[in-house]
């Protein structure tokens, strides 16, 4: 049997409810997955958020995205998307292009350097995902996906 969250946290009193235990377990699991992901990205000089931006822009294709669209697609909200993009532009991972039709609109695109970096990282990330989750099997992973979607969609 798997060690319980209570044991893992060395908590001596029971949780107040199953809902509290599940909530804390999701947070703890996310922290573990995030820590490993950050360690994988560290040699590449990227943060999790910067990686997420590159992944988003690669998916956007040649059209790129405006700053607000990038911010809306991030896994985690950041307080200042503009500053994040400024830092990535300084690293030459992204470029910005002002629209000729509407000078207020600035689209952000991934650069060849950013694409090359993602290509280098992709294999390692796929391996990490397999190492962390494949042991659950496809059926349990699908059940987990559905449960997590239900959590995100339901409740106040």
Is the pLDDT confidence value at 156 over 80?
no
Is the pLDDT confidence value at 88 over 90?
yes
Question: Which pLDDT band, with edges at 50, 70 and 90, does 3 fall under?
Answer: low
Is the pLDDT confidence value at 26 over 90?
yes
Query: Once rounded to an integer, what is the mean pLDDT over residues 50-61?
Result: 96
Q: Quick one: pLDDT at residue 86?
A: 96
Residue 50: which of 70, 29, 28 has the closest Cα? Answer: 70
Q: In whole angstroms, give the CA distance from residue 8 to residue 3.
A: 7
Q: In whole angstroms, give the CA distance from residue 88 to residue 82.
A: 10
Is the pLDDT confidence value at 1 over 70?
no
Q: Is 48 in contact with 36 (CB distance < 8 Å)?
A: no
Q: Quick one: pLDDT at residue 103?
A: 72
pTM as predicted: 0.86
Question: Which pLDDT band, with edges at 50, 70 and 90, does 7 fall under?
Answer: confident
Query: Once rounded to an integer, what is the mean pLDDT over residues 113-138?
Result: 94
In the chain, the domains with their CATH numbers are 20-148 (1.10.10.10)
Query: Once rounded to an integer, what is the mean pLDDT over residues 2-18?
Result: 83
């Amino acid at each position: 049997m798997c060690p319980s969250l209570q044991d893992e946290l060395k908590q001596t009193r029971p949780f107040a409810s199953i809902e509290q235990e599940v909530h804390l377990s999701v947070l703890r699991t996310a922290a573990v997955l995030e820590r490993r992901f950050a360690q994988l990205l560290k040699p590449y000089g990227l943060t999790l958020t910067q990686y997420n931006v590159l992944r988003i822009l690669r998916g956007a294709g040649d059209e790129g995205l405006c700053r607000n669209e990038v911010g809306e697609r991030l896994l985690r909200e950041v307080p200042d998307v503009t500053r994040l993009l400024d830092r990535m532009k300084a690293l030459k991972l992204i470029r910005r292009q002002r629209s000729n039709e509407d000078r207020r609109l600035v689209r952000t695109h991934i650069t060849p350097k950013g694409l090359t970096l993602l290509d280098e990282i992709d294999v390692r990330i796929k391996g990490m995902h397999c190492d962390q989750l494949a042991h659950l099997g496809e059926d349990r992973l699908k059940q987990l996906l559905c449960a997590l979607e239900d959590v995100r969609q339901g409740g106040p």
